Structure 1
């Protein structure tokens, strides 16, 4: 797979892919800067604090990621989502069928954390939910030693490092609605703002294949937004305790900051950062790092599969509402 990662954060050129988000073309974008797991920890921590993320190349063995991808699409294959003559590892969408039969799940979907689709999508949604409960996923993949050990060292939490149970295993069918603008502390407010998110693509994701995009220095804007929401809540007459849990009144019904990434970036004069992801890559980001995703326009019809994993320091206060496997309409 050709790679488009630029060594500098220079503007995209006309020869680079035209990317789309929910509100149209992503006109001004640049590139996530890759890091390597064997770099000095202090250098990786500096990047994380300064940029709000570290984009780790090849942290998890590629074959382990592809094995998990095969397991997922083996589960989903009976729904008819895969193109005849292709393999589960390829995960190619059968475009002869309406994408509405195969809706994505997770925070930020249209309508919030509700069951998506109609009766024709029921089997697909049920299987997508059931995948969260399978040992190949929740035990082998979500707690992969390469990832867990790296986070324990990087964070300095050591044996107190906890991979929390609630994760979001998301598929992104070509052409369907993409994830809107948000930061993770929006959904984790009952704990300290110290959780680390690992976004893990489960397979190669081309630049135009629906991968995550990050707002440049978006973690600073996320903190500013959080402070403003809190001040407005206090000014409205809420107590300190009430104010800490009143932020979502400032957002959309889904908890998103915005459903339109292109307009959002222009509003704050910040570019979106994109990447060409490979199986084995992991992006770690802070609770305030603002991100979204592109619309999947992979020309080969590859279904983007990825998961959001959260790690916390179990010796500190964390949002224990997340101490359960993902389910629909769980209030989170």
Structure 2
């Protein structure tokens, strides 16, 4: 794996170097299950190498970009599976979605982005994604065994299929329970890169020991909500008056990590890799500085124990303005 000293690894507010970043710890899915669980509890995440068949992931990538190709997002005369961004276009016309791009999960981009945004949302509902990929038996089976939920394992229908062209806005600092407060904090997120992602290609980064930080922040938000006299309904919202308008903790990952006295953990990713993380694990993404103009494509798939209270808003497909 490429070392952290790779050039052009950056977040919104500056570079990530060996001073403020390190590498994620990878795990083999064939390791003893108890050892994997121990790593998950200790780190707040589990970076599983090669969990999904590479060919299945690349087929999904090909279908997605073939579907989006009419919007002009791809470089002419390139294979859709490569996902090469059209260098004659502006990233502003091909905005990402979800987690802090627009307050209260609104619609991103202006009129020039309308066709692309419509197609990007429609992709969430296509059988090749919503049925085949999101319900991949290798992922579902692993989560059911790893979490010990068995037949109670439920996959949420609401997912976030995100594309990030080079130079586009990365995802800000957050933890997922902020957006899942209508249920117990028992869910697990599977972040699935759909294609290879270079270390400087816009992949997800995790705050070192960030789960404990997220738990502490959630306690503080709850206390402040009570002191402010917020109703239970208001305090559950990711966009309440104690939060940023986007539901994020910060738009400045480097500054945030420095304040917490911790490093960011980064990695390159390969098609087939999956990162599982806990509800309070703090994460963000880097700026996509891929030198070959590769579009970063990934999805957030979430699972829960259906025998316990869970956020039923996540049982509906992603829609703009759904308040989640």
TM-score normalised by the shorter chain: which range applies? over 0.9
Superposed CA offset, 1:151-202 (max 9, x none): 0000111011011100000000100110000000000000000000000000
> Any runs of at least 4 consecutive aligned residues in structure 1 with deviations exceeding 4 A, and if so which?
none
Partner of 2:138: 146
- Please tell me whether the aligned partners of residues 234 and 243 of structure 1 are also in contact (alpha carbons under 8 angstroms): no
Aligned twin of 1:245: 236
Gaps of 5+ in 2: none
Q: CA RMSD in A?
A: 1.4
Residue 264 (structure 1) aligns with: 256
Instruction: Tell me the equivalent position of 1:29.
Output: 21
From 86, 104, 125, the counterpart of 2:117: 125
Partner residue in 1 for 2:10? 20
**Within 2, Cα distance between the matches of 1:254 and 1:110?**
6
- The alpha carbon displacement at 1:119 in A equals 1.3
Which position in structure 1 is the counterpart of 2:278? 286
Instruction: Provide the rounded CA distance (Å) in 2 between the counterparts of 1:235 and 1:318.
Output: 26
Shift of residue 245 of structure 1?
1.9
8 Å CA contact 1:17, 1:207 repeated in 2: no
Which residue pairs with 2:2 in the alignment? 4
**TM, length-normalised to structure 1:** 0.94
The change in CA–CA distance for 1:70 and 1:229 in structure 2 (over 3 A counts) is: same
Shift of 1:25: 1.6
Shift in CA distance, 275/162, structure 1 to aligned 2, threshold 3 Å: same
Secondary structure, aligned partner of 2:300: strand
Instruction: Report the CA distance between 1:111 and its aligned residue.
Output: 3.8
d(CA) in 1 for partners of 2:233 and 2:104?
Answer: 22
Tell me the TM-score normalized by structure 2.
0.96
How far apart in 2 are the matches of 1:186 and 1:79? 33
Q: Which of the residues 228, 244, 254 maps onto 2:246?
A: 254
CA apart distance, 1:233 = 2.1
How many Å separate the matches in 1 of 2:229 and 2:75? 56
1:78 aligns with 2:76: no
| 1:214 counterpart SS class | strand
* DSSP 3-state at the match of 2:82: coil
Deviation at 1:85, TM superposition (A): 1.5
**Offset at 1:4?**
1.7
Figure out how many residues of one structure are paired with residues of the other and give that number: 321
**How far apart are 1:314 and its partner, in Å?**
1.1
